[in-house]
Amino acid sequence: EVQLVESGGGLVQPGGSLRLSCAASGFPFENYWMHWVRQAPGKGLMWVSRINTDGSNTGYADSVRGRFTISRDNAKNTLYLQMNSLRAEDTAVYYCVREWWASSAFDYWGQGTLVTVSS
Amino acid sequence: QSALTQPASVSGSPGQSITISCTGTSSDVGGYDHVSWTQQHPGKAPKLIIFNVSNRPSGVSNRFSGSKSANTASLTISGLQAEDEADYYCGSYTSFNSVIFGGGTKLTVL
């Protein structure tokens, strides 16, 4: 059974940092592109970042580029999102998602971890 | 880049069919066949129901179908059931090598 389990969310002050982790199991993690998608309270989905299978190619939404860094450890089957210079508008549930074979569609989603940026 | 355009809400009675539109540009929906639809029930994680415009993942009911014409994609749900009441999001690959979602459509089953 495919499982994606996020951790690392919490309350952080504006300007602060957090590192999200996503533990993957039930599939060959090293073969799949992975992404982070977020959803602000009561709002829609927003794509945040993606990483290819070996971590050599990454991409970011304009609103997070230069502040967030996506990475992965295939030996540990874990995806990461380092978030720096956090802003109130980054407050959201962050989902770790698996991409279905170069389709830009996300076939498995974690349950999400809530990040709240507030003083 | 602006979100893809979806109606804020649609509604239908059990057994009826409804269609949700998703309008983008030639840089996203119109330029690629990487359009997806995702269903989200309140308080739950999203679930993929359509990928690559019209393909259903294993286990998704054939009452869900997708299509695309020019810059507009559509999701049709036939034989509407109470359990279909949820939020629906379209998504597309873009020429900026990113993914963009629509604003979401709330489906109410009357």
**Can you tell me the mean pLDDT for B4-8?**
97
Write down the pLDDT at residue A101.
Answer: 86
pLDDT tier for residue B17 given thresholds of 50, 70 and 90: very high
**Can you tell me the mean pLDDT for B25-31?**
95
Do A20 and A113 meet the contact criterion of CB atoms below 8 Å apart? Answer: yes
Do A77 and A54 meet the contact criterion of CB atoms below 8 Å apart? Answer: no
Q: Which residue from B minimizes the CA distance to A98?
A: B48
Distance from the Cα of A71 to chain B's closest Cα (Å) equals 17
pLDDT tier for residue A49 given thresholds of 50, 70 and 90: very high
- Write out pLDDT tens, residues A58-80: 999 999 999 999 999 999 999 99
**If 0-12 CB within 10 Å is exposed, 13-18 middle and 19+ buried, where does residue A57 land?**
exposed
Write down the pLDDT at residue B2.
Answer: 80
Alpha helix positions (H), A32-93: none
Write down the pLDDT at residue B64.
Answer: 98
B40 vs A42, A71, A109, B61, CA distance in Å? 12, 27, 11, 15
Minimal Cβ distance to A104: which of B40, B50, B93: B93
What's the token pair of residue B32? 């690629």
Q: Given the structure tokens 């709330």, which residue do they identify?
A: B106
Question: Mutation test of the interface with chain A: which of B98, B100, B101, B106, choosing the one with the most A Cβ atoms within 10 A?
Answer: B98
Question: Contacts from A5-9 at CB under 8 Å and sequence distance 24+?
Answer: A5/A110, A5/A111, A6/A94, A6/A95, A6/A96, A6/A110, A6/A111, A6/A112, A6/A113, A7/A113, A8/A113, A9/A93, A9/A94, A9/A113, A9/A114, A9/A115, A9/A116
Total Cβ atoms within 10 A of residue A87: 13
Q: The dihedral of CA B25, B30, B33, B37: what is its sign?
A: positive
Name B44's Cβ contacts closer than 8 Å, sequence gap at least 6: none
